[in-house]
Structure 1
Amino acid sequence: MVLNIITSSKNCRISLKMQVFPLQIVTVPTLLDNYCYLLHDEISGSTAVVDPGDADAVETVLAGRHWKLTHILNTHHHLDHINGNLILKKNHNAILIGPKAEISRIPNLEIPLVEGSTYDFAGHIVSILETPGHTIGHISLYFADSQALFTGDTLFSLGCGKMFEGTARQFLDSLFKLSKLPDSTKIYCGHEYTASNARFAISIDYSNEDLKKRSKEVNELLDNNQPTVPSLLSIEKATNPFLRIKDPKIALAIGKSGADPVEIFAELRMLKDNF
């Protein structure tokens, strides 16, 4: 808390202003290769979980830290991101929040979110970005005060999600939208796919020295049983081929020189699907 004292010759006025500190963010591995995330506000004690695919893994971390779960945030409806919702909600009476466009596919969703809206989580304002492509109603969650972006299965470290429901144009627009956030933004994605993504990226962008350096760092992290996320948006923009669609070298590598960016993205995504 910050105490501001304002004085004049006639009176003395004291105003109290709350200082919001960045969230504590804990990466929780779940299932085979998923990540969910615990977000904790020290002042209020509020704790949120993003995309809990497995309730037991979340409960273990909560118990170890003596945190009380108050909110559940979902980016999209896939089971490996919502399977823990109902158990955690029942155990903690947590508020369930997610994309309005997928309200029929996320049971018991209480607060639906749309692009342009915000949600106040214990004084931390989360901005909602609609990022369709992986699913048609997918959203990403941006906490400016913590420089944290939760991308679900839209943007991965060195890659992007599979295009299950949306179009190539929608998916590419979603990636461009995320790329416009500050370079210092930390990317928290839904899966540990970085090593596989790095191998594919190097097969396309083999002369990229930043990519080679990132690939080495990724292997070192995994060798030490450490997650490869979060990554920085600045690094992603320099190394992730799906954020570099407009670089002529990417188009040349896949035989699409001069093609429309949407066509280049669709081809790149197809190549990754079959890699």
Structure 2
Amino acid sequence: MYTVHAIPALKDNYIWMIQHQKLKKAIVIDPGCTTAVMDRLEAEKLTLTDILITHHHLDHTAGIQALQQHFPNAHLYTPFPNQAANRLQQQVQEAQRLSFWDQALSLKVIAVPGHTLDHIAFVNAQSLFCGDTLFSSGCGRLFEGSYQQLFTSLERLAQLPAKTAVFCTHEYTQANLAFATAVEPNNSAIHSKQHWVNDRLKNNQPSLPSTIENELHTNPFLRTSHPDVISSVCAHTGSNLQNPLDVFKALRQWKDHFTPK
């Protein structure tokens, strides 16, 4: 009934558009710019009905005002308060359920702080729109939250059904896999994914969406209890780390300063 499409934007962002072809309506998630979204809407003759925001960073929000000028009836759902007297803005929070297009689509809001304190994700039985919390074979940097918060958020996402499609908002997969290979050089799933991603990018196709199942096999930040990840982190830090949170913290710090060979 609905389909999800990637709109490349800025340097490496993806704005996700959920389209209902029969109704000719659309939802956009994290519009960091306006032009690319308008081009898609006009090409498909779609009406923008809703805008969903995962967190406050400008590369996820810069297109809001112009899009609402073009579509003044478009509802805006954000994790932050309404500061512009926008009558159609609604601050959403943990466990809130949103319904669109006469219940043709529903999404649940889940709090996933870490990258930012206000970060949320939108999820249903098929799809996860996770902003900058979980990336394909990686995770977001810490700008405001704590290691504990981001670790807990990722652990929560890892519990979603295996076939859940993961729609994150940056094309970081190739770089993330380079780091994942450094952490787990003998992980065949990572090597297979590298070949697949390289082919996709060579053909100007996105490496996304991923799936929770794939991330559990190829994302070191979801594998902090795996012996190979623990061993690699201990060797890198020269410490005997066993607690998954400590392993996660060391992994995130390693990735922050990692340069592919």
* TM-score, normalised via structure 2 length: 0.92
Which aligned pairs between 1:37-186 and structure 2 lie closer than 5 A? 37-93=16-72, 94-99=74-79, 102-103=80-81, 108=86, 110-122=89-101, 123=103, 124-144=105-125, 147-186=126-165
Aligned twin of 1:35: 14
Q: Gaps (5+ residues) in structure 2?
A: none
Q: Gaps (5+ residues) in structure 1?
A: 1-20
C-alpha distance in 1 between matches for 2:135 and 2:32: 17
Partners of 1:77 and 1:106 within 8 A in 2: no
Residue identity opposite 1:62 in structure 2: L
Instruction: Please state how far the C-alpha of 1:242 moved relative to its aligned partner.
Output: 0.5
Instruction: Please state how far the C-alpha of 1:84 moved relative to its aligned partner.
Output: 0.1
Instruction: Please state how far the C-alpha of 1:24 moved relative to its aligned partner.
Output: 1.1
* Secondary structure of residue in 1 paired with 2:91: strand
Instruction: Please state how far the C-alpha of 1:225 moved relative to its aligned partner.
Output: 0.7
C-alpha distance in 2 between matches for 1:202 and 1:41: 39
User: Does residue 223 of structure 1 match 2:202?
Assistant: yes
Name which of 229, 254, 257 aligns with 1:271: 254
* Secondary structure of residue in 2 paired with 1:103: coil
C-alpha distance in 2 between matches for 1:42 and 1:26: 12
- Measured at CA, do residues 231 and 106 of structure 1 come closer, stay the same or move farther in structure 2, by a change above 3 Å? farther
C-alpha distance in 2 between matches for 1:47 and 1:41: 6
Q: Residue deviations 1:34-90, cap 9 Å, x none?
A: 000111123433311000001001000111111111110000000000000010011
Partners of 2:113 and 2:120 within 8 A in 1: yes
User: Does residue 260 of structure 1 match 2:243?
Assistant: yes
Aligned sequence identity (%): 38
* TM-score, normalised via structure 1 length: 0.88
